[in-house]
Structure 1
């Protein structure tokens, strides 16, 4: 079967010529910002033809492609390794590393949008009942970086990374402190890698029973000495082309955020009763939780907020999709409030009545520490673990999550290359020294 599916793809490439026409046009035309309207229309039509070819091929052959790339699911590559394997086995189906490396050196406005082809591929894989669950399981496994740091963490109870500090005390609590004090904990590739490492360590360490996510003290002039939860996606990084589809936008949702909900998948024989090691999570919001910060709250079991804090999902302002918030937000707040926040950019202040749909406790800033400790103690119990597992299964069925992520993979890829997004983030980045 594997040889035949490659033969089918090579035959389509030869007979269609659509991907080759895109390559020829890219070589002949100036870079995207310098193209005339006619040139833009011409290459857009060529790209559409090539993407229609890829999409039709994968609609029919996604299972066979995935079987070839994973040795019939005997191997469990993460999304980046899976795409690398696809580029080697099916040239022209997804961009190869050489093409992506050339794109990485350019600002977002000057890129050709090759990541959209990665989105087409992952939509087909995640849609598949054969391939999709297997890929989600692969993304729930611990990262090599976390495994390399595990001995140090279990021995010392602390690991300090560039953007996240994780500490375990004698109370069985893993405290994850986001500490990008220069940019109000704005999210970039470094932060996503550090957060997944920290979540993995907390889940892997048997001495940890409960996890806490909180922002650290800032040195930003406006918030100096105050804790801040998160300013969301770093718009400067997005404008400069440093927010990749795989390494940030998809890894974040399928990696540490999904692990907060489902836990971490291991092959330990003691886990025969459940495929994943799970632990309850508390989030404490000081200052604000903007965009991705609010998305973190939706994956936690208990949320506290200081009375002067606020939450927001400024997707309409930025032009992108706020991760899995469209899937999870309505479960907490209902469809009307979801549309007000996501489509219209409404901010929810912690003291508003509507905030109680998203936040479990609102306390005065000076009382946050004591309230956090009390909430951690309440979630420390075996019955809590069993019941959160059943709640998550009922509220977020794995197949429903998979269906959402399949469409998200493509739609978010299209959004980050939308001209409106490129224009907006460029203005935001130029206007602000931080993420907002």
Structure 2
């Protein structure tokens, strides 16, 4: 039985919500019939008409979500007594409210297509999630739901506690003394991120946070096998643009999960419900980043949540959002705190690179050392962050720098704007140039 099927909707759904649901379903069904007719002829005129139908249906969904998202969320989570992952939530909403969101089958069918051939059904997910995150009641509950340890991490935890090592395809995590050392090891693709990388990173972060023997975490790129950088450490090349062009960078499973999952956990910690744990609901640790080679795009975004960043003098940081055409995660919110509005616009809107050796880099990087001195500098920073008073002060700094409601408001708009960018013509054209690859 599916999650939505387990909800006795006729008994628990308020009458006004049921009426609105039925009216939406009927309107969308009529619109889908019209779209089916237009798909038979892919002439420019018919494509323009299909676009107008999609726009009309999305306006209906936006009105429904704006009025009822909180009630829908309460229904699907049984009055916020259940936590749902993002994927579970949108799937349950699609089943319980026909026409509101694309079905799992429709998304699976589109997943097989390159980005240029898709119709943009993920935009409907962005519309719904924006409304949920905007809610001061449903939004915080949804954020907490994504801060839980993943089932995969919980399965691996007993072995990790025993051995101190977890080997995954994209990340290796090892406990050495009181440090969890996370090494990104996609050596053939310069640690470019895809769903595998995000899942492995979240698992590794969960393990580090859940292990009582860990006092501080380290994230570092491993040695590359890529021909141009063979034998050298590289931090991250950002989003895998080949996968984006091939249609394998989903909104929910990658772009939103990444921000609301492991990156948010690096900042806030992992949510645990333990008896007697009254001081905080979150287990958190301080984190160090060691940057070699470069931190591009998503790699640069990561640096904005670390407590200490050490970089080799020959590295650079960049956020080529204008080149790629998408929104660089939460960097638009966080970078201005570090670098100020002018430099942030230069980096995000104009593609300026920040080289570690230039003075402006000290706004993003705490410590710049010669490549041969990286190991020693990293160890010094780990020792400093293992102090007893670090956690309490870190928590208060993060609360002042990025209040949870500010993050929630940003992510609400990000959910829609990123979905829209994924299907805009300029992104489709740029991503298509990188060619298709198998998922």
TM range (shorter): over 0.9
User: Do structure 1's residue 126 and structure 2's residue 137 form an aligned pair?
Assistant: no
TM superposition shift of 1:51: 0.6
Residue 239 (structure 2) aligns with: 233
User: Do structure 1's residue 27 and structure 2's residue 17 form an aligned pair?
Assistant: no
Cα deviations by residue, 1:92-134 (Å, 9 ceiling, x for unpaired): 1011111111111111111111000000000000000110000
User: Do structure 1's residue 11 and structure 2's residue 20 form an aligned pair?
Assistant: no
Task: Report SS of the residue matched to 1:373.
Answer: helix
Counterparts of residues 114-193 of structure 1 (less than 5 Å): 114-169=121-176, 171-193=177-199
User: Do structure 1's residue 379 and structure 2's residue 385 form an aligned pair?
Assistant: yes
Counterparts of residues 313-392 of structure 1 (less than 5 Å): 313-392=319-398
**Would you say the 8 A contact 1:186–1:232 is kept in 2?**
yes
TM-score computed with the length of structure 2 as normaliser:
0.95
1:113 alignment partner, one of 120, 140, 159: 120
**Would you say the 8 A contact 2:225–2:231 is kept in 1?**
yes
**Would you say the 8 A contact 1:231–1:289 is kept in 2?**
yes
TM superposition shift of 1:68: 0.5
**Would you say the 8 A contact 2:115–2:432 is kept in 1?**
no
Aligned-partner Cα distance in 2 for 1:207–1:244: 35
Aligned-partner Cα distance in 2 for 1:67–1:308: 51
Aligned-partner Cα distance in 1 for 2:297–2:435: 16
**Would you say the 8 A contact 1:2–1:67 is kept in 2?**
no
Cα deviations by residue, 1:238-295 (Å, 9 ceiling, x for unpaired): 0000000000000000000000000000001242111100100000100000000001
Residue 60 (structure 1) aligns with: 67
TM superposition shift of 1:2: 2.0
User: Do structure 1's residue 205 and structure 2's residue 216 form an aligned pair?
Assistant: no
Cα deviations by residue, 1:216-244 (Å, 9 ceiling, x for unpaired): 00011110000000000000000000000
Aligned-partner Cα distance in 1 for 2:31–2:230: 50
**Would you say the 8 A contact 1:21–1:46 is kept in 2?**
no
Change (3 A) 1:105 1:327: same
Cα deviations by residue, 1:123-151 (Å, 9 ceiling, x for unpaired): 00000011000000000000000000000
TM superposition shift of 1:11: 2.3
Aligned-partner Cα distance in 1 for 2:247–2:434: 14
After TM superposition, which residue ranges in structure 1, 4 or more long, deviate above 6 angstroms? none
**Would you say the 8 A contact 2:25–2:98 is kept in 1?**
no
Alpha-carbon RMSD across the aligned residues, in angstroms, is 1.4
Task: Report SS of the residue matched to 2:288.
Answer: strand
Aligned-partner Cα distance in 2 for 1:417–1:9: 27
Residue 265 (structure 2) aligns with: 259
TM superposition shift of 1:381: 1.9
2:404 alignment partner, one of 391, 398, 402: 398
TM-score computed with the length of structure 1 as normaliser:
0.95
Unaligned runs of 5+ in 1: none
Task: Report SS of the residue matched to 1:269.
Answer: coil
TM superposition shift of 1:3: 3.7
User: Do structure 1's residue 310 and structure 2's residue 322 form an aligned pair?
Assistant: no
2:300 alignment partner, one of 273, 294, 303: 294
1:277 alignment partner, one of 279, 283, 307: 283
Aligned-partner Cα distance in 1 for 2:282–2:52: 45
Aligned-partner Cα distance in 2 for 1:321–1:417: 13
Aligned-partner Cα distance in 2 for 1:224–1:262: 35
**Would you say the 8 A contact 2:146–2:261 is kept in 1?**
yes
**Would you say the 8 A contact 1:6–1:90 is kept in 2?**
no
2:229 alignment partner, one of 223, 227, 242: 223
**Would you say the 8 A contact 1:22–1:43 is kept in 2?**
no
Task: Report SS of the residue matched to 2:252.
Answer: helix
Residue 49 (structure 1) aligns with: 56
Aligned-partner Cα distance in 2 for 1:181–1:248: 20
User: Do structure 1's residue 2 and structure 2's residue 8 form an aligned pair?
Assistant: no
